[in-house]
Amino acid sequence: LGGLSKKAYRFNKVLQAKDLPFLILDGGALLFKNTFITASQEVQAKITADGIVKAYNLIGYDAVGVSSRDLAGGIDFLLELASRSDFAWLSANIIDSNSNKPIFKPAVSMNIGARKAAVLGLTDTLHARSESLGPGFKLKSWQQTLPKVIEEMRSTHDFMILLTSVSEKTCREIARAHPEINLIIQAGGTSSNQSPLLLTDNTLLTRTGKQGKYIGIMEVDWQKGGKWDSGQEEKLIASRNEIDRLNWQITRHRNRLESKELHQKLENRRLEVNTEVKRLEQELRDRLTADVRPSSYKSQFIAMDISLPDQPTVLEIVNETNRLVNEAGENTASSEAVAGITGPIGKGFVGWTKCQKCHNKEASAWLNTRHATAFLTLIEKNQQFNLQCVPCHVTGIDNYDPAGALTIPRELQQVGCEACHGPGQNHLSNPTNSTRPVTEQICLSCHTEEQDDNFDFISDAPKSH
Amino acid sequence: MRKMIGALVILSLVSGMTVSAATTDVTNNKLLVIYSNNVNGETEPCG
């Protein structure tokens, strides 16, 4: 959520710098971290989702894809959010069982300059299933739904974009079946930026990675009816260079008896590359005589660096959302305290002061680390009741189901010994019972790429005491 | 721009040239797609 005000700032800068007709789109997976939310997370997760929609309204998004992750709060919740969205939520394959019609818009038509673009949405069927949508809704496959939408739009639009959270494999299948789609923006469980990848001559696939910390900018020079330039010139240069290298190697190995096998391999490779060169040369000759020149694009990813300025009005929304999230957590904490919920106490956690009695040297060293004041940083930011933050700033709380995190007792209000070594009760009652080994996986559950992309287990783990 | 096209039209009438004003805008085919995805995974570093 924090990066939204920086995104807004960058979007404005890009639009000022390039005086071109534009579209602002999101592939999907914008509201929730997972495909489900637990009961303890629900209130705060929904406040956050609401804040994201408000920020998207201000930024001026045109359309977003509905991903299975956007359905984690329930379809009714998403419909309610959609009613307050100034942008379109797109999904061709979430269907009303009674009317057999799509619940969200399957596509929108947008005028961009002199051109007309169709933007379509398709929800992944990997995580979202018909039964998880609740009664009255069905999730259909792309084969059952997409062809009809494409057929309706194809003749009246110059450019077609698909926003989807289906896998890359499925994107390839769709691209093969529907050359009408020019660009696919993919969301979902991906971890890295995907530079535009030519799936077919007609269809490019792109996505930003690193959990939303990048924005993608694509400047398209679109020739109606044309195919994408697949970089034949560059391929031709590379192939000719390879032939030069092969010629040199072949001459070198020709007269050496012991290199006979290698020599043959090089000859075979030269034959292959020669064929490729001839094919590329022919393609380029064909292009010169064709009526339509290929479409081209320039693509870049911009990282949302912490040093970027914030767009003030979006920052206000981010701050207000964080405040509401913390307030909701505080209210829950009060009612949980009344109900006698006491965090992970009773689950074998004893607190660092018990460990200190025998492991004083380690405990003293730990007191000088940031682990020892991890919870304090949340109090300073007024986020000590934010369940998205608390699990990694305390001891004994599960990231995925942070039940009890809001009533964490004082002795566990930091990343203590047991956060890494596991519950200490057994070891305390009998020191021959060893604690669990500290593995990289344990550290990575909090030192994620998103929160700490410089973490290195070998060098950093020993620094914890 | 309007004056320029006007001048060309007059010139064409005088000289019998054919004028096409439709291709004068070179940005006609260009568009900018700004996009994001997986914003859900993003959080401000908590502390």
* pLDDT digit string, tens, across residues A26-47: 999 899 887 888 888 899 999 9
Interchain contact, B47 vs A389, CB within 8 Å: yes
Reported pTM? 0.79
* Residue A131 banded pLDDT, cuts 50, 70, 90: low
- Shortest distance between the Cα of B14 and any Cα of chain A, in A, equals 31
Residue A247 has a pLDDT of 87
Averaged confidence pLDDT in chain A: 88
CA-CA-CA-CA dihedral for A231, A234, A235, A238, to nearest 10: -170
pLDDT tens-digit map of A388-443: 889 999 998 887 777 788 888 888 999 999 999 999 999 999 999 988 889 999 99
Interchain contact, A451 vs B46, CB within 8 Å: yes
Interchain contact, B47 vs A393, CB within 8 Å: yes
H-helix or E-strand containing A11? helix A4-17
What percentage of chain A carries pLDDT values higher than 70? Answer: 93
Q: How many inter-chain contacts (A to B, CB under 8 Å) are there?
A: 169
Instruction: Pick the residue from chain A with its C-alpha nearest to B22.
Output: A114
What is the CB neighbour count within 10 angstroms for residue A157? 20
Place of tokens 């018909």: A130
Least confident of A173-187, A313-327, B22-36: B22-36
Q: What are the angstrom distances between the C-alpha of A410 and each of A344, A351, A415, A419?
A: 12, 9, 12, 14
What's the mean pLDDT in A296-313?
Answer: 87
Residue A51, Cα to own-chain centre: how many angstroms? 18
A301/A227: higher pLDDT: A301
Can you tell me the distance from the alpha carbon of A326 to that of A392, in angstroms, rounded to the nearest whole number? 16
Interchain contact, A186 vs B47, CB within 8 Å: no
Which residues does B contribute to its contact with A (CB < 8 Å)? 25, 27-47
Residue B25 has a pLDDT of 43
Q: Which residues on chain B are in Cβ contact (under 8 Å) with A115?
A: 28-29, 31
Has residue B7 got a pLDDT over 60? no
Q: Which residues on chain A are in Cβ contact (under 8 Å) with B41?
A: 29, 33, 211-212, 450
Can you tell me the distance from the alpha carbon of A424 to that of A418, in angstroms, rounded to the nearest whole number? 6
**SS3 state of residue A449:** coil
Has residue A238 got a pLDDT over 90? no
Instruction: Pick the residue from chain A with its C-alpha nearest to B45.
Output: A451
Instruction: Pick the residue from chain B with its C-alpha nearest to A318.
Output: B44
Interchain contact, A215 vs B35, CB within 8 Å: yes
A409/B12: higher pLDDT: A409
Residue B16 has a pLDDT of 38
At A117, which amino acid appears?
A
Interchain contact, A207 vs B33, CB within 8 Å: no
Q: Are A297 and A228 in contact (CB under 8 A)?
A: yes
What's the mean pLDDT in A10-18?
Answer: 90
Q: E strands along A154-246, which residues?
A: 159-164, 183-186, 194-198, 204-207, 214-221
Instruction: Pick the residue from chain B with its C-alpha nearest to A160.
Output: B33
Has residue A449 got a pLDDT over 80? no
Interchain contact, A3 vs B27, CB within 8 Å: no
Has residue A336 got a pLDDT over 80? yes
φ and ψ at residue A382, rounded to 5 degrees: 55, 45
Residue B15 has a pLDDT of 40
* Closest partner CB to A218 (pick from B27, B33, B42): B33
H-helix or E-strand containing A308? none
Q: What are the angstrom distances between the C-alpha of A95 and each of A44, A100, A140, A184?
A: 28, 6, 7, 22
Number of DSSP helices (H) and strands (E) in chain A, helices first: 16, 13
Q: Which residues on chain B are in Cβ contact (under 8 Å) with A221?
A: 29-30
A403/A386: higher pLDDT: A386
What's the mean pLDDT in A5-22?
Answer: 90
Eight-class DSSP state of A401: -
- Shortest distance between the Cα of B16 and any Cα of chain A, in A, equals 27
**SS3 state of residue A217:** strand
Averaged confidence pLDDT in chain B: 54
Interchain contact, A30 vs B38, CB within 8 Å: yes
The bridge status of strand A88-90 relative to strand A63-65 is parallel
At A57, which amino acid appears?
N
Interchain contact, B29 vs A215, CB within 8 Å: no
* Closest partner CB to A219 (pick from B30, B38, B43): B30
Place of tokens 């566990």: A412
ipTM above 0.90, yes or no: no
Has residue B44 got a pLDDT over 70? no
Residue A83 has a pLDDT of 97
Q: Which residues on chain B are in Cβ contact (under 8 Å) with A446?
A: none
Interchain contact, A212 vs B40, CB within 8 Å: yes
**SS3 state of residue A251:** helix
| Mutation target vs B (from A11, A220, A292, A302; most B CBs, 10 A cutoff) | A220
* Residue A226 banded pLDDT, cuts 50, 70, 90: low
Residue B41 has a pLDDT of 57
What's the mean pLDDT in A59-76?
Answer: 93
Eight-class DSSP state of A399: S
What token pair was written down for A299?
Answer: 């693509």
Can you tell me the distance from the alpha carbon of A257 to that of A103, in angstroms, rounded to the nearest whole number? 72
Has residue B5 got a pLDDT over 60? no
A199/A289: higher pLDDT: A199
Q: Are A418 and A424 in contact (CB under 8 A)?
A: yes
Residue B47 has a pLDDT of 41
Q: Is residue A357 packed enough to be buried (19+ CB in 10 Å), middle (13-18) or exposed (0-12)?
A: exposed
Place of tokens 């592939």: A27
Residue A420 has a pLDDT of 93
Residue A258 has a pLDDT of 62
Q: Which residues on chain B are in Cβ contact (under 8 Å) with A218?
A: 32-35
